[in-house]
Amino acid sequence: MTGEVLAFWVLAILLVGSALMVVLTKNLFHAVLWLALALTGTAGVFLLLEAEFLAAVQLLLYAGGIVTIVVFAIVVTEKLVGERLSQVSRRITGGAVVSAALVWLIVSSIMERPLAITRAPMSGDLTQIIGETVLTRFALPFELLAVLMLAGLMSAIYFARPED
């Protein structure tokens, strides 16, 4: 068993386990912490796929940014209700059937196709290639992304304005 296979299985178990805890745990705050672990596991998968830059972005934006925002939202909403952050799920059987059917559909169609076993060679520093491609071939989507983030920022400020 090579190191990559071992690392993949460890990360897969970590990712699936923490994802299951996100959707099954009763305490909402604990669910957010499990989500942070799942996102960190995803960053590990990115590292395994030799995408160091994406792993760093994943840790900064997802595990850092989103988890902080969600914790803020919980503090603002749940604490005031005083339900002790507990929550119940509904339609568990139906949800499990739907998800299992979808996963079975995707996995069976993945298994049918002949997919690549070995990685194509990529020369040079991936981070440098990503940076150069973003600013040449994908310059317009990149700028549109900036506009989108500005619009998102402004609408978030609009929603959170003090009541008048």
Smallest separation, CB 28 to other proteins (Å) = 6
Q: Out of 82, 118, 140, 164, name the contact with other proteins by CB under 8 A.
A: 118
39 binds other proteins (CB under 8 A): yes
136 binds other proteins (CB under 8 A): no
Helix (H, G, I), strand (E, B) or coil at 86: strand
Residue among 47, 48, 3, 41 at smallest CA distance from 22: 41
139 binds other proteins (CB under 8 A): no
Residue 15: how many other CB atoms lie within 10 Å? 18
Q: Out of 3, 81, 82, 140, name the contact with other proteins by CB under 8 A.
A: 81
Residue among 74, 67, 68 at smallest CA distance from 37: 67
66 binds other proteins (CB under 8 A): yes
22 binds other proteins (CB under 8 A): yes
138 binds other proteins (CB under 8 A): yes
51 binds other proteins (CB under 8 A): yes
Q: What are phi and psi of 27, to 5 degrees?
A: -80, 125
Q: Out of 10, 30, 102, 125, name the contact with other proteins by CB under 8 A.
A: 102
Smallest separation, CB 23 to other proteins (Å) = 3
CB 67, CB 42: distance < 8 Å = no
Which H helix or E strand runs over 56?
A: helix 52-57
59 binds other proteins (CB under 8 A): no
Q: Which residues contact 130 (CB under 8 A, 6 or more apart)?
A: 53
Q: Out of 84, 125, 129, 143, name the contact with other proteins by CB under 8 A.
A: 129
